[in-house]
């Protein structure tokens, strides 16, 4: 059995919604990549993160079907949980900043996996979209208020791994921010919120609010691979 925690990352202003993230604090319990992949598939979250060194902030990120060098919501969640000022990912070092109740990470757009940024004429059109068939990772978006920099978005991974729609997607918001060249406030999924902006050196910052799914309980357990 392997212990893990569940966070909600990019919660709305009232603390609701957010994208669930599985976190295995004791990454040494599953050192093999194949076992990590199997565990992430078993949990079934859009991403699961394994902590290899909590003091250095070294993490390893998986979807149910593949390993990611970098992803936004695992980095924001891990930074919040570990309380570090920097993370070490397979893509590179990620700076961490805190602003009130927000946790924000800064990364290079080139680290984000490719996404199709598909613009629509209105937020209502985005709301009305059906889940497209697998095959293309689509980030559907529209301005809610262009002058204010507010965006309505939905994310469709298209991987055919059971995650038909991603509730909140930091990497895609990072790419959209780089594309538009301005800070954004993104409402994604059912009501999650992501805040973005530019940083010196070509970095893009993305962040939001993080909550534990079970704040009163200890780590949860899942079996099948590894031990704790």
Residue 1 has what pLDDT? 79
pTM of the model: 0.92
pLDDT band at 218 (very low <50, low <70, confident <90, very high): low
Length reported for the chain: 228
pLDDT greater than 60 at residue 116: yes
Q: How far apart are CA 126 and CA 149, in angstroms?
A: 17
Dihedral sign of CA atoms 45, 195, 85, 68 in order: positive
Tens digits of per-residue pLDDT, 35-48? 999 999 999 999 99
Can you tell me whether residue 204 is helix, strand or coil? strand
Which pLDDT score, from 0 to 100, does residue 222 have? 72
187-195: average pLDDT: 97
Burial 209-220 (b: 16+ CB within 10 A, else e): bbbeeeeeeeee
Q: Which of 47, 4, 50 is nearest to 220 (CA)?
A: 4
User: Above 80 in pLDDT, residue 225?
Assistant: no
pLDDT in tens, 54-84: 999 999 999 999 999 999 999 999 999 999 9
Cα separation, 206 vs 191, in Å, equals 17
Question: 207 - beta bridge partners?
Answer: 104, 195
For residues 142-163, average pLDDT:
95
Model confidence band, residue 53 (pLDDT cutoffs 50, 70, 90): very high
Helix axes 170-180 and 72-82, enclosed angle (nearest 10): 110
Q: Take residue 115 and report the two structure tokens written for it.
A: 């996404």
- Computed over every residue of the chain, the mean pLDDT equals 93
In which band, very low, low, confident or very high, does the pLDDT at 216 lie, cut at 50, 70 and 90? Answer: very low
pLDDT band for 228, please (50, 70, 90 cuts). very low
**pLDDT surpasses 60 at 29:** yes
Q: What is the pLDDT of residue 124?
A: 98
Question: Which residue, chain included where needed, has tokens 């902590």?
Answer: 51
Burial class (CB in 10 A: 0-12, 13-18, 19+), 139: buried
- Strand pairing partners for 141? 119, 153
Using the predicted structure, report yes or no on whether residue 178 has a pLDDT greater than 80: yes
Res. 211 pLDDT band, cuts 50 70 90: very high
């Amino acid at each position: 059995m392997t212990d893990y925690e569940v966070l909600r990352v990019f919660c709305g202003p009232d603390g609701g919604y957010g994208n669930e993230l599985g976190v295995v604090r004791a990454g040494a319990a599953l050192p093999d990549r194949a076992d990590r992949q199997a565990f992430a598939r078993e949990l079934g979250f859009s991403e699961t993160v394994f902590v290899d060194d909590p003091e250095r902030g070294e993490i390893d990120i998986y979807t149910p079907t593949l390993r990611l060098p970098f992803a936004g919501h695992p980095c924001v969640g891990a930074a919040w949980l570990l309380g570090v000022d920097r993370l070490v990912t397979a893509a590179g070092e990620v700076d961490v900043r805190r602003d009130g109740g927000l946790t924000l990470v800064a990364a290079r757009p080139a680290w984000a996996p490719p996404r199709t940024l598909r613009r629509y004429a209105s937020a209502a059109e985005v709301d009305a979209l059906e889940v497209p068939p697998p095959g293309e990772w689509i980030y559907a978006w529209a301005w809610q208020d262009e002058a204010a920099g507010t965006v309505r978005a939905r994310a469709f991974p298209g991987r055919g791994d059971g995650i038909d729609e991603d509730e909140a997607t930091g990497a895609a918001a990072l790419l959209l921010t780089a594309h538009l060249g301005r800070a954004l406030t993104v409402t994604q999924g059912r009501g999650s919120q992501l805040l973005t902006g530019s940083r010196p050196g070509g970095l893009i910052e993305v962040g939001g609010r993080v909550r534990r799914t079970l704040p009163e309980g200890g780590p949860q357990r899942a079996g099948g691979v590894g031990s704790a």
